[in-house]
Structure formats: C-alpha cells, structure tokens
Structure 1
Amino acid sequence: MTNPFLLTLCPFLHFGPHFMHFIDYYPVRLTGPSRCAGRVEIYYNGAWQTVCDDGWDLNDAQVVCSQLNCGVAVAAPHSAHFGKGADKILFDDVACTGSETHLTRCSHRGYLVHNCSHNQDAGVICSGEKIRLIGPSRCSGRVEIFTNGSWGTVCNNSWDINEARVVCRQLGCGTALSVLHFGEGTGEINEVTCTGSERYLPECSYGRVGAQNCNHSQDAGVICSGRNLKLVGSARCSGRVEIYNSGSWGTVCNDNWDINDARVVCRQLACGTAVSLRQFAEGTGQIWLDEVACTGNETYLTECSHSGFGVHNCAHSQDAGVICSEQPPVA
C-alpha cells in the first residue's frame, strides 16, 4: 500500500532502480504547544528524529523558523525544554550561519553521529504569525493573527487576562489591564490558551476553531497599559533601555541613571529584580528621557521624575542599559 505521507513529499523525492532519497532536504517540524514552538524533529528513514543541543543557538533556530515560515527565532531552548523525543538523535553539533534555507544544509557531525541523550533534545521558539490590535490605539483593540496569508481573529471562549498578558508583552505594550470586545473581525477564528508567563504567542497552545464553536461576535480584545518599554540586547531581560513614544522607539540617557531606575524597568517588564547597570550597543533615533530619577517603587518608568519627553543634552554613547535577574522574586 502506498504511504500517503510520502505522496505529499513527491516533489522532493528521487526514485532510482534500488533506492529513494530526498534531493533537497528532509522535512522539519516543531513538536510542542504550537507549530512555531517545540522540540526540533527531522523526518529521516521513516521516523521523526531529534537534534542534540550541543552548540545549539539562535542561528540554528533561525534556519528552522525560516524553513517553517514561522518568522524570526526568539529562543533556542536546551535540555529537552519541550520534552524528550522517542526515536533516534539525527544531528549533533549543528552549526548554522542563520542564512541556510534548510537545517540539513548546516554543518553537523554527520547523520546519527552524536554523544547525546534525549535529555539534550534541542528546541526552538519562533516569533510565529504576526499579531496586531485593531482598535483605538496600537496597544488596545481586537486581537488579530496573520495566518495563511490573511488576518484572522481569536475566539473569547477561553480568553482571559493570561492570554492578554502574552499579547501585550509580545507587542511591547506593557501589562494587560483588561479584556474587552472591540467589534467583529473577519477571516479565520483561532483559539488560544496561555498560562500568562509566555513571552510570545506561539509558546501558548492554539489552533483553528470551527464556525459551530465560535463566531466573530465573540472576537477577543485586549487593553494594554501602553507604557511601552523594552530592553534591546541578547535576551528579553537585559539590554539597552528603550521606550515607545509618539510613534517611535527611542532610548534613555544614563545621566544619573542608577539601580533604582533599573529596578522600575525590571519590574515593569516582569523581569525580576535589577542585577546591574551596563552599557550596551548604541541606539538610533530619539533620546526620549534624560535625568531619570526613580525612587525604585514606581510601577512604570514614565512615572519617575525626568526632564521631559525628548528634552536632553545627551548622545547615544550615553544610552542607559539594564541587566535583570529574569525571574520574579519569590513572595
């Protein structure tokens, strides 16, 4: 009997008199909460096989995200973050530049050559489908997700403040204040379930919803705090401080910048406590704040005393930076 899975791969197969192999690449998938976040698996010799996390980094993850049309790589988890695989380990010591079109074109030790266990299965988190809020501002409105070439909505059946937190966080829109209906959208309807701690929507569980279970009168919406703040660096919780104002991101001058100011930044971003101040790469565009003076107890950076938006005597060589602990303190 013909294997129906192989029929879907016909464009990539070469049939010779005694063998069959893939000319271009082996299929890749992510096994996890969504199609754009999970354990990396490659279909080889009739089974889905994993990749060892030795040397696994964002360059390798980017190739997977590109191959799956899942946007940009935002994390490359190690240590079987998405659970252990069950079959063989196909690759070890993968080393991509990030520009390869398929994971099998990256450098590695060879097929089935490794010194790993499934405790080291590599994972990937991609930015996934684009999301946006359609409403009165960039940070409040109906939640829409771009899938299959068009914008669709999210059903509010299981939608609550946990899902809203993830949307606000991903969009750089501060914290979630409430959930609300902002009118009916069009297109596909998605169902999303988050714990609230995820950094990006693909880390949540979601899928398509049939018309019999939800309609556009149930489209979910979000109101975020809009106190837009982010850290630009190698991780979400360390980097150059930037705030969103008047339609663009800009930096903060480090005149009088101290650990109290850093504490407010880390708290606002749910990044735990401030560990240290540090200079990161120079930003571009506006310098939005100067002479920031926080007590350390403020909820948002813009609640601290400062010289006024866009009022400064600084250069980007003075851009403030923060390193946070990344984990909220235990109560």
Structure 2
Amino acid sequence: MCFSLLCIYIFFKGCILKYSLCYIFYMKGVIRLTGSGSTRCSGRVEVYHNNSWGTVCDDGWDLNDAEVVCRQINCGSGLEVPQSAHFGAGTGQIWLDHVICSGNESSLTECQHSGFGSNTCEHGQDAAVICSGEKTETRYSGSGSSRCSGTVEIFHNNVWGTVSDYKWDLNDAEVVCRQIKCGSALQAPRSAYFGAGTGPIWLSGVSCSGNESSLTECQNSGWGYDYYSYNHYFNGHYSDAGPIRLTGSGSSQCSGRVEVYHNNIWGTVCDDGWDLNDAEVVCRQLNCGSALQAPQSVHFGAGIGQIWLDNVTCSGNESSLTECQHSGFGSNTCEHGQDVAVICSAVPIILTGSGSTRCSGRVEVYHNNSWGTVCDDGWDLNDAEVVCRQLNCGSALEVPPSAHFGAGTGQIWLDNVTCSGSESSLTECQHSRFVSNKCEHGQDAAVICSGEKTVS
C-alpha cells in the first residue's frame, strides 16, 4: 500500500473519475471485484500486492472466504462462490491460494493462505464471489442461457427471483444488457423462453425508457406484485385497471374462469347469484367489450386454492369487480365446482374441447348469440395462423383433423374457410355464409398453436 503524496493524489483523482472502484481500492486498500459481467458486489476476486493486481486461486474457496470479501468491500454477506473462473480468467499474478477464513476477519489477507505468489494454480481456477449487496443487480439463468442471454433474475430481500414478462419489451431488455455489460438487446423473448424460474416473481409491469442504469429504476408494479402468477404465463388476460384475470381450460383473452388477486394470492369467485351484470363489470374492467354469457358450473374448469368472493352483486356500472357488493374476501361456503366464468364480446373465438388448453383445441366462434364450430373442409395452416394470432397464441403448428379435440354441439357456423394468413380475425377470411355447410361435428376444425410450448 503506497502512502506517498503522489499516490494519494492519484487515488483522489481516481475517486473523481470512478468513485466505486476508488472506494474499494483506496479505502479498503487491497481488494477488488472485476471480470466479465461483474458488478460492484459480484466478480472475480483480485488483491493488490507488490504494486500489481493478481487473482486468488479457488482451492478450498468457500462461503467463509466470500463472507470476508463481501464485508471488506461493504457488500453485505456472501451468497455464492461460483467456481471455474465464472467471471472470466484473470491475467498476471495469482497472489493467493488455499485461503482459509473463519469468516470474521476484516480483510482477506488476514486469513490463512499459502503466502503471496505461492501456488500451483492456473487462471481457470480464479476465485469469485456474489454478495448480497447485489440487491438491485440482475443475472441470467435457465436452460440454454449464457452470460448474455437467459431468464432474467433480480436479487431483492436476500432472495433471487424472476421478472414477469407482462409488458416486457426491447427497452426493458436494453437496460438489463447494459447493466450487466452485455452490449445492446437483440431480442426480448417472453413466456419463459429459457425455462421457468423458481422463487418469487419480484417485478411485473416493467416499463423502461431504455436509458435507465438499472432495471429497478424503471416503472414497475412494485416488489412482489404480479399481474399473473408464475404457473399461468400467458394463460389468461390481465387488467391494467385492477387485479383480475380470465383463465382456465379453453379460455381466451376475453373468456374464461374469473380470478381476482388478493393478499398476494390469486383466487376464484363463487357462482352464488352470479349473473350478466356481474360479468358486465368484469368484461369492461378487462377492456373486453360487453358480457355475452355468465356461465356457471366450472365452464372453463375448476380453480384451486382460495375462493375469494361470494354472493357478488353488481349493478353493472362499477369499474371493478371488487367495488360490487360481496360477502367479504374469503367468506364463503363454496367449492371450486362453483367457480364462475365470463364470455365477453371483444374476442368472439375460443379454443375448447377435451384435452384442450388456451392455445390448442376445437375452434368455436360466436355468432347470433350462440357458440358454434368450424368445419374442416379446406382447413389448413393459413387458417390456423389467423386463429393463433387472434388469440395471442403465437404461430400455428398443427391443424389436427377429424374433431381431434372432440366433437362440438349445436351450430356449425363456418365452412370452406380460406385465409391468406394475414387477416386479423377468422371472420375476415373467405368462407361459406354462416350456417351454409354440409358438415357434421365429426369434421370440427382444431388448431395447435406455438404459444402452447411455454405453458406449463
């Protein structure tokens, strides 16, 4: 450690130019975290000795050693000790090896070690740490991820958690890429593209301009609040006006089982007294037009967990379902066989049938106040492409024939559908006029969309 006036002047000048690095080096004297993807509280460990920086070999490197490093640089406690030069291999000297700390030392060099420069290591063994002070930093994880691609995770309240893809776009990705020194954002894949994470979903509704220095500086819905839960990526439609969603088997953006968010948990609504007035409020709240039906008896499947609302009584003019009269959150004598649903006018198309999911099933359209099927005469991937896009379910993968998801009942509304694939709605495609067909329900058309790939 140099204490000459010249040396102090250089450090002081360095503080003006880059405060965080100077703080670690000058105030603490002999240690820094660096390397590819490093931040102030995570990186390859380097110590200053004999007028040069050098690395630390990971022989015996553990959380006790990391604890000392993290405390020394005012970064909280040690969370991880990634191996094999996780933040890249250093160059030059390897100053320390066989470091053994109790965890209580004030400096890494106070711990037992083999002596400066005494080692048989290579830089592929350079030690690293991730400290808890990394509370507002991000990392990538997941299948197929690399240092600059993967599922985005963020550290908060001493726990790593994920970021919801609700409203996620390239501006948000740009901030993450810059934050972890990975250049510009090329893509912002959604729907757990690199695999679903674990633990809490810390941020949702993230909206960045793209210029922020950290993801947590962007607008968001607040720590721990998510518009839809971890197991329901793209499995329903979510309201900007309040915590409500439509989900369940065969649901679409504007039809499904009604669920509300309360006390950090999604729960269902009991059908005692449920009618079109109540459904009207839900449809308006979700910007889905007016209510067409208020189906009961788990039309879109039974939910699980809490039943939050019962005896809901709306006039139809309320802006939110929770503004209507009800028995109080959690006060009910219902079972999930009574979970309510709505079908709204905005998207008059659903996928349903045995074994169906939100992005695969028998195609049904709403016309003349009733649901009906589509005949598979000439049904192909161009037609399916329109359906998948209309339901926000990605691209068409298959058009299984012969009522693959079961035969429907009632009207067969469309036949001889011919789409170019670019239409915004199935009814914009050429087709025989409504009810003009010679089909049977054994010919009901079906689709399997790519959006189904990411729904667990």
Could you tell me the TM-score, scaled by structure 2's length? 0.31
For the pair shown, the structure with the greater C-alpha radius of gyration is 2
Q: Greater relative contact order (Cα 8 A, min sep 6): structure 1 or 2? A: 1
The TM-score, its normalising length taken from structure 1, stands at 0.41
